[in-house]
A and B are shown apart, each in its own frame.
Chain A
């Protein structure tokens, strides 16, 4: 079964350092999402791509976070500088749609970030 690949699985970084996460969506899925999940809460959308274009980044803290999907395939999420409050699970997901109907939505296993 096709999977959304994410790396690294775990990351520990010191505050004020830079950190980057990588995601490879399911082949053919044009829409890619980055979510952040704080322990005990549901995932919250950070940024959504349609192919290589950003569709929604209204919840992305743009002073320190950036995301790109240069060729419309894999994507990188970067935090610089990291803060203690950024400790969370960062989840990537991709979806396939036919017209307005979503017919597949798959999450990766996530990257657990700890900022110390």
Chain B
């Protein structure tokens, strides 16, 4: 069955450093992959979408890579700030446009 793995351990980094989060998947060939931010008690907020024919995508301080051979996506936040502290979810297109989500990685940026 389809499986998406994100590091369940929280990632703690110092302000100003680059945060790198990993999303690995198996038994799947998604047409696209998305990254979301989720704050406690709130719904996920869409950040970036990358398609299977794209290797890298950037938006301000965010960068996503997508390696369909390794079945892996990396999500980078450069010059991280305490306001970036949240849970980040990776999601793959499930078919018929619905999404399958990983369990998320909690990022804590220390001032």
Contacts and interface: CB of A to CB of B under 8 A. Distances in A.
A45 B97 CA distance: 11
Interface in B89-111: 89, 91, 93-94, 96-104
A95 B98 CA distance: 9
A45 B98 contact: yes
Contact of B103 (A33, A40, A45, A56): A40
Given A40-B103, A42-B104, A102-B32, A109 B42 contact: yes
Given A105-B34, A105-B46, A56 B104 contact: no
B44 interface: yes
B43 A45 contact: no
A102 B96 contact: no
Interface in A14-72: 31, 33, 40-45, 48, 55-56
A89 to B, nearest CB: 8
A78 interface: no
B98 A42 contact: no
A100 B32 CA distance: 11
Interface of B: 4, 31-32, 34, 36, 41-46, 49, 89, 91, 93-94, 96-104
Interface of A: 4, 31, 33, 40-45, 48, 55-56, 89, 91, 93, 95, 97, 100, 102, 105-110, 112
5 contacts: A42-B102, A42-B103, A43-B99, A89-B43, A105-B49
